[in-house]
Chain A
């Protein structure tokens, strides 16, 4: 196997003598209007390799794999499969040739069983019974346990991903593409996935692994191709690189370190949640179960957890988008606020940043000044006797632009025209400029470029230093380790007791994210509950 490994230099491909790459793209280009999503990308995928595709959001990773999987037609360039040029008419042709893909966002029907979902994704020539038997066999062979008869809505995110992987494997692909598979997994679940991928490699298959988690890539992958701004920057052996050198290639420069002020003082409790329970607002939503925590001024509390464990529901309850019957369950600045609307909570000094930037945090087709008004109308002097003070709204835009380095084409563009990172800086800036006493922020740097992420994390730290209480929900454990003082974990609508960040190892957090408890005594209690 080792003789198989080629050197860093791409010209050294002759080591694969007598073989051709399984898949090869030459000058692959995809153009959307004036925008080049992929600019002449050459990539070689060899059998028995796990090949990482690295890049920031918007670097062109998804576009490239969509072209390889036949979801989009390239504007120029050529794809070779086993040495032959191919034009894929669509994903079904890609699958029939032996190319499989597992998407980041699953396409599963909640109300159907595992087996029914898998059947829908196959071409349906075999009987349902044969297919179910094969499903069980594949899932056993690869150590991906699944109960074919369970309905999808009952399953965890990790289990849902298993369905997608098994579905792809049942078509016996020679080449499997996985789009950010570990983004939704606990560290332990990720380790299990890596075992599966190693096994696929040992069977002579190739894997293209999209990620931006560098440590993971160094551990798992044999080759890494780095994209930046639609272009290929480099193909290298990630094991010979450092995380920092990979990051430099992704970003194209050094990333600013985020620094916490030394000796931050905590003050009075500014956000207190007392035994908050809330039924889900929609079918298959998560029920919040007896959530309690206390957050003091000057402190950042991180909430970790796999997506879909009640984080969205908790945000809605804290912001007042959903009201709680008992006012005392949420206390903002010493006042019972559970029954108050989001506007009234803002007047108490709370500010909120939701996960979705477009359509939730902002109205996409409205100007930034109007989006400043969206949350500023309550308590920022932008409205006098029902009339809008346009100058005040524009001033907020200018101040946010200046303080948080928001890059935009003109003074007051539509929200949708900004890049993800710049829009997120504007949204966070809009709330911080209101000098909130409490800031509740969900996934602050999701899909944001590294430069903007550093600015946003620094801003959250500075806000806490200035005395505000900050609650950060994030799926990125590194981010929480970087900025939070304490970290709690959400699982099935329950919130664990917070751990001091210094004690919150990946192992401990991973156990909590998977629903285990840390101490045997507590575990016994949980089983009884």
Chain B
């Protein structure tokens, strides 16, 4: 008896839907083993990770707040990945967006700038994120440089640039030498949706982005272009679609969305620019994009789920002294299983019983 992987005639839509669930299931099983090895009660740990955050309003709002940048970035990345353009540097585009938007906030500090401040910050952040993403895209199109490497390396450039600004020119003079800008003025801050709560306008923007991407991919010729360039490049050229143009376009859009997410995070929950504004949103968003099947609605759900693991990880650290890094281990294992389970969309397992005649022939 033999277990073989066999190609399906047509992709299985059922498996496409349940494959992320299988992946989550396998991840949880692996985590239980990991918790047991760490000497923690697996059931209590799972409760802290997945149940506890869902039981109070503060944590629920916090999940939405964490999901906001994840979903916005992942939507942009999904457009890149569908078009076979591998933007790994969303983290850098996020930071550059945060820096560019903060520039207005820092320069208008205490000047009673009007209500234009926040919209201007959002637009500038998106533009800066897009331009920053265009660097690897243009290098790819003009010189054939691997966008995976260049976009990833630019993350560290952005990270150090932000570090320089908040330790140097933009440091808050009254900040006891901490590397941070002053708190942004109210006109330069993303408004809250619930007085005294955590939920802010950015979550609404993220939902609009999801809706926009769903329409783009499902209904428009541009969305079709993106899908066909990734799925069958030669057929796309035959269809009259230019893959280089699409690399530029998808990188610019994903950079803009990452930059927008960056300024919303800084001008929203954080309130000022400082190092460490992102717990790796740009990288976690890659997992969100794939866990969500590169589908806008799927990304929304996956973004909320990954946000849950961030909050759950904090709770587990407080309640059970489980290191916060276990959250990253969890996310890594999850991506591994998602990609593994995806092979079931085009393949299926089959048990094969070798024929007796052949078996006899071998002896």
Q: Which A residues are within 8 Å of any B CB, using their own CB? A: 27, 29, 32-33, 73-78, 85, 87, 319-321, 341-343, 346, 352, 354, 356, 359-366, 370, 373-375, 377-378, 383, 386-388, 413-414, 416-417
Chain B contacts for A77, CB-based, 8 A: 355, 357-358
Chain B window 233-246, contacts with chain A (Cβ cutoff 8 Å), 1 for yes, 0 for no: 01111111000000
Nearest chain B residue, comparing its CB with the CB of A370:
B224
Q: Which residue of A lies closest to B231 (CB)?
A: A363
Contact of A388 among B224, B231, B237, B362 (CB under 8 A): B224
**B10 interface residue (CB < 8 Å to A):** yes
B6 within 8 A of A: yes
The answer to whether B10 touches A416, judged by C-beta atoms less than 8 angstroms apart, is yes
Other A-B pairs, 10, CB within 8 Å; known A360-B235, A362-B235, A377-B240: A75-B358, A76-B355, A77-B355, A87-B362, A342-B240, A361-B235, A361-B238, A378-B240, A387-B219, A414-B11
Q: Is B3 among interface residues, defined by CB-CB distance under 8 A?
A: no
The B199-253 residues at the A interface (CB cut-off 8 A) are 219-222, 224, 227-228, 231-232, 234-240
Q: Does B110 contact A (CB under 8 A)?
A: no
Question: Any chain A CB within 8 A of the CB of B9?
Answer: yes
A110 to B236, CA, bound (A): 28
Could you tell me if A27 and B357 are in contact, using CB atoms closer than 8 angstroms?
yes
List of B residues within 8 angstroms of A320 by Cβ:
240
Please list the residues of chain B having a beta carbon within 8 angstroms of any beta carbon in chain A.
Answer: 6-7, 9-11, 219-222, 224, 227-228, 231-232, 234-240, 350, 354-355, 357-358, 361-362
Q: A360-B234, A377-B221 are in contact. Are A417 and B9 (CB under 8 A)?
A: yes
The docked-state distance in angstroms from the alpha carbon of A373 to that of B236 is 11
Question: A364–B228 Cα gap in the complex (Å)?
Answer: 10
Closest Cβ neighbor of B229 among chain A residues: A363
Residue from the list B7, B11, B238 in contact with A342, Cβ < 8 A: B238
**What are 5 A-B contacts with C-beta separation under 8 Å?**
A341-B240, A342-B237, A343-B240, A359-B232, A388-B221
The total of Cβ contacts below 8 Å across the A-B interface reads 95
Q: How far apart are A442's CB and chain B's nearest CB, in angstroms? A: 11
- Report chain A residues within 8 Å CB of B234: 356, 359-360
Cβ B228 vs Cβ A74 within 8 A? no
How many Å lie between the Cα of A213 and that of B284 in the bound state?
A: 59
Contacts of B238 in A (CB 8 A): 319, 321, 342, 352, 354, 360-361, 374-375
Residues of A within 8 A of B231 (CB): 363, 365-366
Task: Closest A residue to B358 by CB, please name it.
Answer: A76
Which residues of B lie under 8 Å from residue A360 when comparing CB positions?
234-235, 238
**Which residues of chain B have C-beta atoms less than 8 A from A352's C-beta?**
238
What is the bound-complex CA distance between A366 and B234, given in angstroms?
Answer: 14
Q: How far is the CB of B62 from chain A (nearest CB, A)?
A: 38
Is the Cβ of A85 less than 8 Å from the Cβ of B232?
no
Among A374, A383, A413: residue with most chain B CB under 10 A: A374
Q: How far is the CA of A326 from the CA of B117 in the complex (A)?
A: 53
**Chain B nearest Cβ from A75, distance in angstroms:** 6
Cβ of A32: which chain B residues have Cβ within 8 Å of it? 6
**Which of A85, A359, A377 is in CB contact (< 8 Å) with B235?**
A359
- Residue pair B10, A417 in contact (C-beta under 8 Å): yes
**Which residues on A sit within 8 Å (CB–CB) of B221?**
373, 377, 383, 386-388
Residues on B with beta carbons closer than 8 Å to the beta carbon of A73: 358
- Nearest residue, chain A, Cβ from B235: A363
B224 touches A414 (CB 8 A): no
Q: Which residue of A lies closest to B228 (CB)?
A: A363
- Chain A residues with CB under 8 Å of B6's CB are 32-33
> Residues of A contacting B222 with CB < 8 Å?
386
Q: How far is the CA of A172 from the CA of B288 in the complex (A)?
A: 59
Q: How far is the CA of A78 from the CA of B237 in the complex (A)?
A: 47
* Complex: A518 Cα to B310 Cα, angstroms: 79
**A347 smallest CB distance to B (angstroms):** 10
Least CB distance, B294 to chain A, in whole angstroms: 13
Residues of A within 8 A of B357 (CB): 27, 76-78
Q: List residues of chain B with CB within 8 A of the CB of A343.
A: 240
A355 to chain B, nearest CB (A): 11
